[in-house]
Amino acid sequence: MINSKLCMIPGPTPVARSIQNQMGRETISFKDTNFVNDFISVVNDLEVLWGAEQAFVIAGSGTLAMEMAIANTLQDDDRCLVISHGYFGDRFIDMLERRHIHVDILQSAWGDIVPLETISEQLKTNDYKAVIATHIDTSTGVVANISKIGSFVAEHENTLFIVDGVCSTAAVKEHLESMKIDVLLSASQKAFGVAPGLALVWASKKALERRKQLQNVRDSYIDFFKWQPIMDDPMKYWGTPPVNLIWALKQSLTLIKEEGLEYRFQRHVKDAKAIQQALQAIGFDILANEHHRAATLTNVVYPEGVPDVEFRQELARQGVVVAGGIGQTAGKLFRLGHMGNIDTHIITSTLNAIERTLAQFIDIDYGVAVKTYMDNR
Ligand SMILES: *Cc1c(COP(=O)(O)O)cnc(C)c1O
């Protein structure tokens, strides 16, 4: 008998009961003052906690937030620099080229990062309109040094720094003002622990000024200037806000404030390190180089003789769902999300199920993973 499956993929992540309950509430008019006030508090919390001039919350996934970030800051014939540590960094390239934006690309081998010196040197070669980096690339489990890159970009007056935080925001530190980020983008279903459906974008003053300079942008649904009046006063209308999801995000922000952002960041680092040690202790390898491993997910490389699909199917039967590798890592590893509103109960259950499953394929010392996690957390 299986009661429920733990959704340990890199998004959607487990949704806490109190957040689920918000999605089950009776839906009311988006002009109801109770909802309007809740929406105002969500936008305000996002701006204060992430040090932004303006936050946007709209219906859509992280990919829409990526589009929104570039649609409001870049136009035809602009040149920008993409720092890519994997599949999601690469995703920007096609998006930008469709908009006739010239793209220079710095790519690393999967599991590695582009050296900081290479980035600072590259920035001197061109007057880039924007530098785009993925904080944690979900395909490789690698974390970029956002504050360092931000300090390089800040030396260039006309360059904006755009950060994809879909797999990091609310788990790893991101603060627009202090980290010199101009546009941060994210989504509800990863470290916020809300169901999929919300695209989140934060903009600095400099980014809003760029939007103004562009005058007309091609897109309307994702235009900052269409949404800014609504974020300031949700009594106004542009597109119908997803009422229940915004309530769910409000509850997620309540949990985040109760826990404390700093504590939450530390929790993710501590758990990630212990989970990674636990997995290595039972014979798995980790794709990301140990100096820049993500705190939100791990790309776990199989030992010899463990077949990917069969392993993940059996693990799901044991009650834990993980994701397969993408692109060049397909078949070689599984991706384990460990972000958002998860606790020791969820983590040890996950590790235990991984051990039960692995034991069906190779000889292991049962109990080592959970013990290693508990000893190191
Ligand atoms: C998941 C993810 C995306 C895409 O978000 P969707 O909600 O799936 O559209 C973009 N960037 C990163 C880093 C991600 O992890």
pLDDT, residue 3, reads: 66
pTM: 0.98
The pLDDT tens digits for 102-146 are 999 999 999 999 999 999 999 999 999 999 999 999 999 999 999
Instruction: Please tell me the distance from the alpha carbon of residue 371 to that of residue 281, in angstroms, as a whole number.
Output: 10
The answer, yes or no, to whether residue 1 has pLDDT greater than 70, is no
- Within a 13 Å sphere around the CA of 295, how many CA atoms are in the beta-carbon half? 22
- Measured from CB, residues less than 6 Å from any atom of ligand 1 are 10-11, 61-63, 88, 134, 137-138, 164, 166-167, 187
Q: What is the mean pLDDT of residues 307-334?
A: 97
List the beta bridge partners of residue 161.
Answer: 131
Amino acid at 114: V
Q: How many CB atoms lie within 10 A of CB 24?
A: 9
For residue 260, pLDDT over 80 is answered with yes
Instruction: Compute φ and ψ for 182, nearest 5 degrees.
Output: -100, -35
What does the mean pLDDT of the chain come to?
97
Residues of the chain with pLDDT > 90, as a percent, come to: 99
In this predicted model, what pLDDT tens digit does every residue of 269-283 receive, in sequence order? 999 999 999 999 999
Please tell me the distance between residue 167's alpha carbon and the centre of ligand 1 in angstroms.
Answer: 7
Give the model confidence (pLDDT) of 158-190 as tens digits: 999 999 999 999 999 999 999 999 999 999 999
Q: What is the distance in A from the centroid of ligand 1 to the CA of 302?
A: 24
Q: What is the per-residue pLDDT for 4?
A: 80
DSSP codes of every residue in 158-186? T-EEEEE-TTTBTTB---HHHHT-SEEEE
d(CA 199, CA 186): 6
- For atom 6 of ligand 1, the residue with the nearest CA is 62
Q: What is the pLDDT of residue 186?
A: 98
